[in-house]
Amino acid sequence: LEEQLRQSQKMEAVGQLAGGVAHDFNNILQVISGYGNMLKMDGKLDDRQQGEIDHILAASEKAAQLTKGLLAFSRKQVMALAPVNLNDIIENVKKFLARIIGEDIQLKTITCENRLKIYADWGQIEQVLINLATNARDAMRKGGLLTIETGFQTVEASTDHESGRAEPGCYAVMTVSDTGIGMDKETCKRIFEPFYTTKEIGKGTGLGMAIVYGIVKQHNGFIDVYSEPGQGTTFRIYLPIHGIEQSGLEETIAPVAPPRG
């Protein structure tokens, strides 16, 4: 519990700091890219200078992407909660995920026959999948298989997980596995820390999994991570279930606890 508290305090502090810096930094960036573009349009530069300006513009574009990520991370995301079918979210974002991972990685989705109704923010659950798929891609540089599977599971008693304590109840489970490089114990322990990254400078921000953590927590869910170096990685995302619909019959299960909106 103490660990959890530390993590959320850290997220809070980092979020505020990052948001402030990102905002000011963005204004400065606009000056850089604005004048850069003016110089480029001027047409008075020789080839070498044109190339240099292009470098400046490309670098400021990268920096703009980074600040965008920071702003998204720091913004206290207001949740637009609605009862949604988890399978529908996956079906809807599938094409986009396929684009992210590219042609060398195969995407396989196995959706549970039942309609898994959860109270969730559609866009945020998509964000979780996008961040997981991005990491999976980076872990499978030589190609591989990304599998997304849905199901449900009852948690009988409070249990501790990487992302904190799980309360008893029924959960929709989204399993995302890759056949990539995997992680050692130390990395596994730290992935949810904001700014923790093992990627090269300029490649990773270390915010992807912190965002996943934040979103899942806000939905009163939890996450399990299974990974071994060289053996790929599996994330299991648990989200409180609102109901399971089976062949037209609807069985509504009392939600674990209403998510904080």
**Site for ligand ADP (CB under 6 A): which residue of 11, 84, 93, 209?**
209
15 near ligand ADP, judged by CB under 6 A: no
* 233: contact with ligand ADP by CB under 6 A: yes
Of the pair 90, 183, the CB lying nearest ligand ADP is at 183
Write the single-letter amino acid at 224.
D
Nearer to ligand ADP, 111 or 197 (CB): 197
Q: Give 114's contacts (C-beta < 8 A, 6+ positions apart).
A: 152, 244, 245, 246
Please report how close the Cβ of residue 206 comes to ligand ADP at its closest, in angstroms: 4
Closest distance of CB 183 from ligand ADP, Å? 5
**Residue that is written with structure tokens 């590219």 in the block:** 102
CA–CA separation, 14 vs 9, rounded Å?
8
CA distances from 155 to 77, 129, 170, 172, 223 (A): 28, 23, 6, 11, 13
Return the residues of window 116-135 that contact ligand ADP according to CB under 6 A. Answer: 131, 135
Q: Is 139 in the site for ligand ADP (CB under 6 A)?
A: yes
Contacting range for ligand ADP; rule: CB under 6 A; set: 28-36, 54-62, 107-115, 198-206: 198-206
Q: Is 206 a binder of ligand ADP (CB under 6 A)?
A: yes
Residue nearest ligand ADP, CB atom distance: 208
Closest to ligand ADP by CB, 116 or 133: 133
Q: CB-based contacts of 158: which residues, under 8 Å, 6+ apart?
A: 165, 166, 167, 168
Q: 18, 166, 181, 215: which one contacts ligand ADP (CB under 6 A)?
A: 181
Quick one: 185 exposed, middle or buried, by C-beta within 10 A (0-12, 13-18, 19+)?
exposed
How is residue 112 annotated by DSSP? -
CB-facing half-sphere around the CA of 242: CA atoms within 13 A: 14
Which among 18-26, 100-108, 158-166, 178-186 is the span making contact with ligand ADP, rule CB under 6 A? Answer: 178-186
For residue 39, the surrounding DSSP H or E stretch is: helix 2-42
- Interface region with ligand ADP, contact rule CB under 6 A, candidates 8-16, 83-91, 157-165, 175-183: 175-183
Distance from the Cα of residue 59 to its chain's centroid: 24
Q: Are 239 and 212 in contact (CB under 8 A)?
A: no
70 sits near ligand ADP (criterion: CB under 6 A): no
Query: Under the rule (CB under 6 A), what is the footprint of ligand ADP?
Result: 131, 135-136, 139, 178, 180-183, 187, 191, 196-199, 204-210, 233
